[in-house]
């Protein structure tokens, strides 16, 4: 059954391969915030219920997979809430890593921070043939 949340949508093809598109509205790039993680939890629950034979995570944004946490929002919350947010992200990516079916990150653009973590949580990763794409964990340089 397709899921359409504010920031994600899914479709399943005739071979029971589910595709999950990240598409945070009103932004040029996908970022994670509490609302996006709530959508992600809903999508993961559907995957766990439906048990497709495989799942592809990708982005509906051209040239951008995911830039990770919404630092503008995260920077405005108390440390305890920020810590809870980081833990929530780790829990989501752990759920992806523990899915019993093959998972693929189809990286069509920059995958930074949590976007890189999502790609690493998948069993397989494929990337667009584009030398301008950045992938990495830039948060290691923050703080």
Domain coordinates of the chain in residue numbers? 8-141
**Given this model, what pLDDT does residue 76 score?**
75
DSSP letter string, 110-129: EEETHHHHHHHHSSEEEE-S
For residue 28, what pLDDT is reported?
Answer: 92
pLDDT on residue 143: 61
What pLDDT is recorded for position 72? 72
Instruction: Using a cut of 0.75, tell me whether the model's pTM lies above it.
Output: yes
Residues with pLDDT less than 50, the chain: none
Q: Return the closest-CA partner of residue 68 out of 137, 121, 142, 140.
A: 137
CB count, 10 Å around CB of 90? 13
The whole-chain average pLDDT of the chain stands at: 92
- pLDDT of amino acid 7: 97
- Among the residues of the chain, which ranges form H helices? 34-50, 71-74, 79-97, 114-121
Tell me the CATH class for 8-141: alpha beta
Catalytic sites, residue numbers? 69, 114, 117, 139
């Amino acid at each position: 059954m397709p899921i359409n949340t504010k920031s994600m949508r899914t479709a399943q093809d005739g071979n029971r391969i589910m595709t999950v598109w990240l598409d945070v509205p009103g932004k040029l790039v996908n970022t994670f915030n509490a609302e996006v993680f709530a959508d992600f939890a809903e999508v993961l629950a559907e995957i766990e219920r439906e048990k497709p034979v495989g799942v592809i995570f990708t982005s509906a944004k051209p040239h951008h997979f995911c830039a990770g946490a919404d630092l503008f929002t995260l920077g405005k919350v108390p440390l305890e809430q920020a810590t809870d947010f980081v833990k929530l992200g780790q829990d989501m990516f752990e759920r992806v890593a523990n899915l019993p079916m093959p998972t693929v990150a189809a990286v069509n653009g920059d995958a930074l921070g949590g976007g890189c973590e999502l790609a690493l949580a998948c069993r397989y990763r494929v990337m667009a043939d584009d030398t301008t794409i950045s992938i990495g964990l830039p948060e290691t340089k923050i703080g």
